[in-house]
Amino acid sequence: MAIDRVACARDERVQLFALLWETTARLARDLDLTMEARGGLPLAWFEVMLRLEDAPDGHLRMSEVAEAIVHSTGGTTRLVDRMEEAGLVARQLCPSDRRAIHVALTDDGRERLEQSRAIHIGILDERIGQRLDTAQRDQLHQLLATLNEG
């Protein structure tokens, strides 16, 4: 059965996905570039550090970091390597499983996260807060949460 490419491109689901993908890509690129230009962390580092800060015990296994940021384990390892070289995170042996490695924020990492958080929120206010009112932001939050379920 041949796929009608024109009909597929006009399908509202395909168009919705394209718009969602484009919006996410643009926002992520703008956040990354602007955060670094303003003295913050690269967006990927910031995301990892937020996840570590929110972790119940203050650390995550490498596989949990990869899962949290929706990244491959190999890519996450390289990312954490660079963050560790910058002194923002540290690897620790898991006391209950010698095969597992935990990643945790360093004191310097916590300080840089706080500095970058203010930059991040400022950019989000510029890119989202000034374009959507509170009701629209709430609605968008609910819709995205629904899409992320399961």
Confidence of residue 39 (pLDDT cuts 50, 70, 90): confident
Residue 2 lies in a domain: no
Radius of gyration of the chain, Cα coordinates, nearest whole angstrom: 19
Residue 6 lies in a domain: no
Residue 136 lies in a domain: yes
Q: For residue range 111-147, what is the model confidence (pLDDT) as tens digits?
A: 999 999 999 999 999 999 999 999 999 999 999 999 9
Predicted pLDDT at 3: 62
Predicted pLDDT at 105: 96
Mean pLDDT of 27-44: 91
CATH number for the domain including 49?
Answer: 1.10.10.10
Residue 82 lies in a domain: yes
Residue 105 lies in a domain: yes
Average pLDDT, the chain: 89
Confidence of residue 5 (pLDDT cuts 50, 70, 90): low
Q: Would you say 97 and 30 are in contact if contact means Cβ atoms under 8 Å apart?
A: no
Cα 67 to Cα 64: distance, rounded to the nearest angstrom: 5
Confidence of residue 2 (pLDDT cuts 50, 70, 90): low
SS3 for 71-128, per residue? Answer: CCHHHHHHHHHHHHHCCCEEEEEECCEEEEEEEEECHHHHHHHHHHHHHHHHHHHHHH
How many folded domains does the chain comprise?
1
Residue 5 lies in a domain: no
Confidence of residue 8 (pLDDT cuts 50, 70, 90): low
Residue 1 lies in a domain: no
Predicted pLDDT at 6: 61
Residue 16 lies in a domain: yes
Mean pLDDT of 10-25: 91
Identify the domain containing residue 87 by its residue range. 12-148
Q: For residue range 78-103, what is the model confidence (pLDDT) as tens digits?
A: 999 999 999 999 998 877 777 888 99
